[in-house]
Amino acid sequence: MSLETSMSIADFQEHIRKRYHKTDAARGTPSTFLWFIEEVGELATALHGNDSENLAEEFADVLAWLCTLANINNVDLTAAVHKKYLSGSGPAGHK
């Protein structure tokens, strides 16, 4: 996929499902959540640095692990985002 090609959240979530679901489902939510938190920690570290390439990689990793968690918990991220943020007035105040 080229950089000029856009990808929806649903497309990416499905890509993660097709590529990793068997392993992810076997690992389960608690262990997968720990991997996710580790990636969030790496993102936090990258946010304090000056390496923009690493920062982009860590954002991508966090998104991938979020999709993994959504997949193994049967959450459609596109539907969840639409329902919470794009329909009606959206959430009041803080996210």
- For 8, list phi and psi in degrees, rounded to 5: -80, 165
Q: Which residues of the chain have pLDDT under 70?
A: 1-4, 90-95
CA distances from 20 to 14, 25, 46, 52, 58 (A): 10, 9, 25, 27, 18
Domain assignment present for residue 38? The answer is yes
Q: Domain of 49?
A: 29-74
> Is the CA virtual torsion 73, 64, 37, 27 positive or negative?
positive
Report the number of distinct structural domains present in the chain: 1
Residue 87's pLDDT is what? 86
Residue 10's pLDDT is what? 97
CA distance 60 to 95: 21
Residue 2's pLDDT is what? 55
Q: What CATH number should be reported for the domain holding residue 57?
A: 1.10.287.1080
Domain assignment present for residue 51? The answer is yes
Residue 31's pLDDT is what? 98
